[in-house]
Amino acid sequence: MVKVGILVGSLRKESLSKKIAIHVASLFPKGYATEFIDIGNLPFYNQDDDLENNVLEEYTTLRNTIKEIDAVLFVTPEYNRSIPAVLKNALDIGSRPPADNAWNGKPAAIISQSPGTISGFGANHHLRQILTPLNMPVVQQPEVYIAHSAKLLDDTGKINNEGTVQFLQSFIDTFVKLIETHRV
């Protein structure tokens, strides 16, 4: 069984990113299991905690969870032309100490979304920049920027546009190929 961790960059109860992530999680084929990884309870990363051998339990839990998955799907809104702080914090925690980077080599895919027209372009590209030094191969094409995301969801939180569903399925199919390429 291939395990795909899903990190959502929004903490809102009615998060559009989470609703999209739930829908996309159902698009993985048999043999794939998805797991939402909670990042909302993480204290801000402080290197002193690692250097003074006082590693916080939340850091250890996240790092161990990341080490147990095979790949990562990021679904995020854009905050001020970048990724939300909660997502950056999780990436920083998982990457430390550098010699034990939990993200190392894990294939990744990114979906950014926005209720506006910019569709999370800035967040998507900033996240790609962050994943490079973490040594995470990322799906390059198709890129997924979802504009007007609130209009794409019906009352039950499902994506109501068949063309978008087909596009997301092709994206997941590409992600699966990337994962298979990097499986040891």
The strand pairing partners of 71, in sequence order, are 4
Give me the phi and psi of 151, to 5 degrees please: -75, -15
Angle, alpha carbons 114-65-112 (nearest 5°) = 10
Structural domain of 56: 2-182
pTM above 0.75, yes or no: yes
Q: Which two tokens stand for residue 8?
A: 């959502």
Check which CATH number belongs to the domain holding 63 and give it: 3.40.50.360
Residue 35 has what pLDDT? 98
Give 46-105 pLDDT, tens digit per residue: 999 888 778 999 999 999 999 999 999 999 999 999 999 999 999 999 999 999 999 999
User: How many domains does the chain fold into?
Assistant: 1
Mean pLDDT of the 119-135 span: 96
